Amino acid sequence: MNRSRNAVGLFFAALVIGSVALNALIFQLYADHRTRALADADRDLIARAEFLADSVGRTLNTRLLQTFTFAALPSLRAFAASDETQRVTRGAVAREELRALVAADDTLRAATIVDAFGIVAMTTDNSMLADWSERAFVRDALRGHLHASVLARDFGEYVQYYSAPILNNAGDVAGALVIRVAAQELWAAVGADQNVLLVDEDGVRLADRTSQPQLFVALAPLSAEQMTRAFSQRRYGAEITQIRATNLGELRDQIARGSAKPIVFRDADGKTKHAGIARLRLNFWSVVVLANEDEVSAPARDTLRDLILVAGLSLVIALVLGFIAGKFNLRAGEEKRD
């Protein structure tokens, strides 16, 4: 009888020790799997961000090359390089050229020639004689550079501006060609995936694929210098009169540093987020791909659930076998005593 009790006691002692060891193994396996899941998720976020950054970059480059090509058309060069008396005769040809460019492209809203002082000299919209000298896309073009603008709100819609210098026969900048393109082209390059941001060098959202889109909202408050520049240059369009901000300074700072590593931060609601960041090669814009902590750790939680299920079944089986063994030993002891 004592031997049977000792055997049962030893069995339960072994069961307790085995359960402790099994729990420790489960915890270690879960920790290892969670680490691998986080690393895999971070690599995926970076890969997606780089892919989308390349897509946006190709779109910008294609439009810049097109604008540069249009700016070299003889009729546009002749008009930009002419004086007031010559423009009367050359204007008709240039106007028809601009209209043909717009008519051939559904996303092209307007084509405009500005003179060397930034004043609109020829256009297909209603901005004739407007002073664009303070706008960045005009200033860059008049300095001899190509320019792809940030998203802007003008003429009642979201648009982008692309500009290129127009040269005279001496090779000097005589004016600039500006084309206005619907923002849908830029947004199509960003794609339809959820939880994707496109931000400019100041951290202002140019595309927002989150559940609560916030266009023209900065990740963190802009400095006084940034705010002054934005409104003095009408950087985001004449119809944007304020730039609001969220409290994502940590994310903004990582983007400003050009970090290529995935980061973890807390959003305005205190939720943990993972982010993959990729900067465009053309400018200082960045694509940010976001993921919730729950999404990232989901594979590890599934594994933990499976491990707990297996451990629970093993414990039940061990208890059943222990009960059977105890009954067998108890019966054997009673028979031996009789």
pLDDT tens digit at each of 338 positions of the chain: 555 555 555 555 665 666 666 566 555 555 555 566 666 778 889 999 999 999 999 999 999 999 999 999 999 999 999 988 788 888 899 999 999 999 999 999 999 999 999 999 999 999 999 999 999 999 999 999 999 999 999 999 999 999 999 999 999 999 999 999 999 999 999 998 899 999 999 999 999 999 889 999 999 999 999 999 999 999 999 999 999 999 999 899 989 888 777 888 888 777 888 899 999 999 999 999 998 877 665 554 555 565 566 656 665 666 666 566 556 655 655 555 55
Partner residues linked to 278 by β-bridges: 287
Same domain, 99 and 131: yes
Q: Tell me, yes or no, whether 41 lies in a domain.
A: no
Same domain, 214 and 279: yes
Buried b (16+ CB within 10 A) or exposed e, 292-328: eeeebbebbeebbeebeeeeeeeeeebeeebeeebee
Q: Tell me, yes or no, whether 322 lies in a domain.
A: yes
| Tokens read off for 54 | 């390349």
CB atoms within 10 A of CB 260: 12
pLDDT score for 61: 97
Q: Which residue's entry shows tokens 């986080």?
A: 38
Among 185, 211, 235, the domain boundary falls at 185
Among 134, 157, 185, the domain boundary falls at 185
Q: How many residues in total does the chain contain?
A: 338
pLDDT score for 89: 82
Q: Tell me, yes or no, whether 270 lies in a domain.
A: yes
Task: Give the whole-angstrom CA distance, residue 160 versus residue 169.
Answer: 29
| Tokens read off for 88 | 């009367």
pLDDT score for 141: 98
Same domain, 76 and 87: yes
Same domain, 277 and 318: no
Q: Tell me, yes or no, whether 257 lies in a domain.
A: yes
Q: How many independent structural domains does the chain possess?
A: 3
Same domain, 229 and 163: no
pLDDT score for 162: 98
Same domain, 108 and 180: yes
Q: Tell me, yes or no, whether 261 lies in a domain.
A: yes
Q: Tell me, yes or no, whether 42 lies in a domain.
A: no
Same domain, 131 and 213: no
Among 154, 185, 216, the domain boundary falls at 185
Q: Tell me, yes or no, whether 255 lies in a domain.
A: yes
The single-letter code of the amino acid at 6 is N
Same domain, 75 and 169: yes
For residue 226, give the CATH number of its domain: 3.30.450.20
Same domain, 236 and 173: no
Q: Tell me, yes or no, whether 53 lies in a domain.
A: no
SS (H, E, C) 23-50: HHHHHHHHHHHHHHHHHHHHHHHHHHHH
Same domain, 66 and 176: yes
Partner residues linked to 272 by β-bridges: 266
pLDDT score for 74: 95
Strands 157-167 and 152-154: what pairing?
antiparallel
Q: Which of 310, 337, 303 is nearest to 32 (CA)?
A: 303
| Tokens read off for 299 | 């594979």
Same domain, 162 and 79: yes
Which residue range forms the structural domain that includes residue 162? 62-185
By three-state DSSP, how is residue 317 classified? helix
Q: Which of 283, 295, 213 is nearest to 255 (CA)?
A: 283
Same domain, 289 and 307: no
pLDDT score for 55: 96
